Structure 1
């Protein structure tokens, strides 16, 4: 690894060192770095956009043993990831140790995983584990979340050097459809500065991409032969019936919308980034007027203009609405909702009738005012 000297237009070689030489320890340093910045590990594994959610450090919640795994994480598929850290040498027994942990974790249920993460958050200063998991996975409620499905726990080994018996075993595991990876973490010194380089060595990035594509192809073929997940099929059926009712009611925006496996469907009101969205959940259906333009300030300004007349809008809709400005996010929204038993099909006609009526009322109440506000709005919010 080299450092660029812009002034001299030369390269300066960084001195490779060892963690023990520069005084770093496994738990106090390497483990803390990864726990606080999992993106560094994700970048090394070419998962920068997918990410990992660290849910526990030094996890020892296994029955009949006091062993501890270094880091426990969730990936975007809701699968558990066992992360074992070593410093200058991987050791001989790290694979056996990690596989035991993966086996222990394979039986963890959703409620246990949420509890494990909540304990971690409480030690870090607080937070809502269920809500953060939903946000990480892009789901609206915990009911929609599937965690630790099947036996697909992933294993990541981290060390500066890997012994041959370790790399040979990891390659063998991968051949047998176990997602095991080796990430090399190497310290470098330049003067008083210390740098760390993380690179995935098994599989190589090129091989990983190929193997992921082959796994996706195999998954698609299996999906085509088997039934879709029950919840996905349920949503498809519900949206088919809902779209028929919306079209029959003369709501032309829905003519070219197709049913989806998602829990939501969008329709445009002819203002960029503003939608009327239908939400179908197990215990609730909603109509949301979403302000999700590219500029956060524009969304907040539009919301504030609407909120000044909230009583009039609620009177027009005939319902008490939820006004969600959501200051820490770009989107703002106004929500009309009702509680249901959504996965009982006998309730669907009543639920769909509610959605059609309240979609029409939300549209009539909000769409024209927002089109007027957007027409006179300056970039960045305000008029």
Structure 2
């Protein structure tokens, strides 16, 4: 790794180090860094416990326990310069222990963590906000648990076992954490090595398809089926009105459906409180486009007749520009979730709102 000296147009090589030489400790340092900055492993993780020891008939502790955006539990095991031989076995034990955790137990674990940190927020509220769902659709630990291994060096027997487990649909990933130094300054590079990031999306798509074919709870299965039908019906409505935004997008069981435009995504969203349409910039590198769009804020808001919300998502790399269904319109919707009559009215709102929203924002997006 090199530091770039732009003034002299040169590179300064950083010295690759071992954690032990820098007196960096596993729990005191590496674990704490990841708990405060989980995005070094994955963009959207919620740490819900450190040094978790709530296992029956054992005194073992897992380093970090987290939730991902799908409500899955993530077991994070940290090592320093060497994984040792038993890290995979150890992490799989923890995953098996966590497999039986229920929603009330997970909420209790997270509440204890928040209280211990001096953050007296409500655990359920925080998780609902993180997952962007309402209480009726809260599903946690429904699928198999995920495992993240973090270390400077991985033994061959460890990587071979991880690759074999992945072939058998165990979601386990390896991250190499390497410290560097330059004088008194210390740097840390964390990179995913299994699976390679370039193949991750492809692998995830295959697994999601396979998981859809597995037997899941009746409630989740019904919700997923309804979402697919909901988005398919919206696609049909758009096409019948000669709007082709979703022609190349398949209906899915997600709470949003969208299409790409430049560096952003225009999404139709079922939020935890209101329906919305949005222009979503997914990562840190796309924030520049959000900031550039802000330069046109007055012009955009003058061409769109309703209130637009500009949102830098706190604690996340993503940003969004959104228009939500007004509360009065939402409260006047007929029926309840899943009723055909209600769905028709929501689809009508999606159709007109996205068309106006897209036509207003896309010229400014093109200017970027």
Q: TM-score range by the shorter chain?
A: 0.5 to 0.7
Structure-1-length-normalised TM-score = 0.63
* 1:128 counterpart (122, 130, 149): 122
Q: Deviations over 1:71-111 (max 9, x none)?
A: 11122222211111111221222222111100011111223
Distance 1:341 1:148, change over 3 A: farther
* 1:98 counterpart (74, 91, 99): 91
Q: Deviations over 1:263-304 (max 9, x none)?
A: 6899xxxxxxxx9x99698xx9x677x8989767959x979x
Distance 1:113 1:8, change over 3 A: same
1:229 alignment partner, SS class: helix
2:23 matches 1:30: no
Q: Distance in 2 between matches of 1:278 and 1:173?
A: 35
Tell me what 2:81 maps to. Answer: 88
2:41 alignment partner, SS class: helix
Tell me what 1:53 maps to. Answer: 46
Farther-moved stretch of structure 1 (209-218 vs 109-118): 209-218
Distance 1:24 1:114, change over 3 A: same
Q: Distance in 2 between matches of 1:280 and 1:192?
A: 47
Distance 1:12 1:230, change over 3 A: same
Conserved in 2, the CA contact under 8 Å of 1:41 and 1:198? yes
Q: Deviations over 1:283-333 (max 9, x none)?
A: x9x677x8989767959x979xx99xxxxxxxxxxxxxxx99899876575
Q: Distance in 2 between matches of 1:160 and 1:185?
A: 5
List aligned pairs for 1:224-243, cutoff 5 A: 229-235=221-227
Tell me what 1:312 maps to. Answer: none
2:14 matches 1:14: yes
- Mark the runs of 5 or more structure 1 residues left unpaired by the alignment: 43-49, 267-274, 308-322
Tell me what 1:200 maps to. Answer: 192
Report the aligned-residue RMSD: 4.8
* 1:146 counterpart (130, 139, 142): 139
Q: Distance in 2 between matches of 1:10 and 1:189?
A: 18
2:23 alignment partner, SS class: coil
Tell me what 1:187 maps to. Answer: 179
Farther-moved stretch of structure 1 (212-221 vs 157-166): 212-221
Tell me what 1:74 maps to. Answer: 67
Distance 1:161 1:135, change over 3 A: same
Conserved in 1, the CA contact under 8 Å of 2:81 and 2:153? yes
Task: Compute the displacement of 1:191 (Å).
Answer: 0.7
Structure-2-length-normalised TM-score = 0.66
Tell me what 2:287 maps to. Answer: none
Task: Compute the displacement of 1:11 (Å).
Answer: 2.9
Q: Deviations over 1:116-156 (max 9, x none)?
A: 2222222242333333333333x331322332123x21111
* 1:220 counterpart (198, 209, 234): 209
Task: Compute the displacement of 1:210 (Å).
Answer: 3.2
Q: Distance in 2 between matches of 1:233 and 1:164?
A: 43
Task: Compute the displacement of 1:218 (Å).
Answer: 5.8
Conserved in 1, the CA contact under 8 Å of 2:169 and 2:207? no
Conserved in 1, the CA contact under 8 Å of 2:301 and 2:308? no
Conserved in 2, the CA contact under 8 Å of 1:326 and 1:332? no
